[in-house]
């Protein structure tokens, strides 16, 4: 089945974290703090932040109190923008983006399916802004507090949870 890479998942979490600090009025945050908050290696964050900065989704601030912040308001950044920078185009197969990729495109029934599925997925990611993701984060954080959970929402990485289940044989 289709899966986002770690780069796409962690990059989205990085951007939600930056959006959270942006909304709180903080000028910038250092990657070390995000690394600790999100439980993501700082070296991996350093790799992820570069294409986000090149795409002008984040900006760096130098000097004391420096770090990274969003380049624009969370409502102006779409999830699709983030994922395209980190994952590439939102096409399920190459022939959707480039019909010349396969000589069978004109007669291929599956091509129509892949085209429509790619369109649906891209439209979904286009509708979601970083502000929407921040609202979901806040809601989950609030629910976790009200249920007495000791962990805040989004604190355990998806990869770590999967590795823990695998090591227990689940």
**Higher pLDDT pick, 157 / 112:** 112
The 10 Å CB-count burial string (b at 16+, else e) for 126-150 is eebbbbebbeebeeebeebeeeeee
Tens of pLDDT, residues 149-158: 555 444 445 5
Q: What is the pLDDT of residue 163?
A: 46
The model's pTM is: 0.81
CB atoms within 10 A of CB 97: 14
Radius of gyration of the chain from Cα atoms?
Answer: 18
The answer to whether residues 79 and 122 touch, using CB atoms and an 8 Å cutoff, is no
Q: What is the pLDDT of residue 89?
A: 85
Tens of pLDDT, residues 66-104: 899 999 999 999 999 999 999 988 888 888 888 888 888
The answer to whether residues 13 and 64 touch, using CB atoms and an 8 Å cutoff, is no
Q: What is the pLDDT of residue 66?
A: 86
- Measure CA 165 to chain center: 23
Q: What percent of the chain has pLDDT over 90?
A: 58
């Amino acid at each position: 089945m289709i899966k986002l890479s770690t780069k796409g998942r962690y990059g989205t979490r990085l951007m939600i974290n930056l959006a959270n600090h942006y909304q709180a009025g903080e000028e910038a945050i250092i990657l070390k703090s995000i690394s600790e908050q999100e439980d993501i290696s700082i070296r991996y964050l350093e790799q992820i932040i570069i294409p986000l900065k090149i795409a002008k989704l984040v900006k760096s601030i130098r000097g004391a109190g420096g770090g990274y912040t969003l380049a624009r308001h969370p409502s102006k950044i779409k999830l699709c923008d983030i994922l395209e920078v980190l994952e590439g185009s939102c096409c399920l197969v190459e022939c959707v983006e480039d019909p010349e990729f396969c000589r069978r495109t004109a007669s291929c029934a599956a091509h129509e399916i892949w085209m429509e599925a790619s369109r649906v997925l891209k439209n979904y990611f286009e509708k979601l802004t970083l502000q929407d993701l921040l609202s979901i984060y806040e809601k989950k954080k609030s629910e976790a507090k009200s249920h007495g959970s000791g962990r805040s929402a989004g604190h355990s990485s998806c990869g770590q949870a999967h590795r823990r289940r695998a090591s227990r044989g689940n």
